[in-house]
Amino acid sequence: QVQLVESGGGVVQAGESLRLSCVPSGSYSVINVISWHRQTPGKQRELVASATTSGSTTYADSVKGRFIISRDTAKNIVYLQMTSLKPEDTAIYYCYFDYIRLGKPLVAWGQGTQVTVSS
């Protein structure tokens, strides 16, 4: 099984930037999709950005032009570069992998990292 550990969250002021990192451990044969999601209290977890291994990316309308998802294929670290942060970006951010191990499709979630943007 794959375990994911996020880092890079923190408290910033509106307009500042943060870069989140997601480091996987464990074995897998193929990663199909990597993505970042976020959740605030009382709300459903929402997709922020996703990327397929073919290079296709998707972003939530609220973060288009401000966030970029990327992956260091050598280290298998997944990043979420966040710029021009807004108070409404405050949330716990989760990393997600959709992968295949021993021919079986599996998913993995990280434990989350808190991002707080003050106005």
d(CA 86, CA 57): 22
Tens digit of pLDDT for each residue in 45-68? 999 999 998 889 999 999 999 999
Length of the chain: 119
DSSP state of 111: -
Give residue 76's pLDDT.
82
Element holding 23 (H helix, E strand): strand 18-25
Low-confidence ranges of the chain (pLDDT < 70): none
Burial 23-48 (b: 16+ CB within 10 A, else e): bbeeebeebeebbbbbeeeeeeeeeb
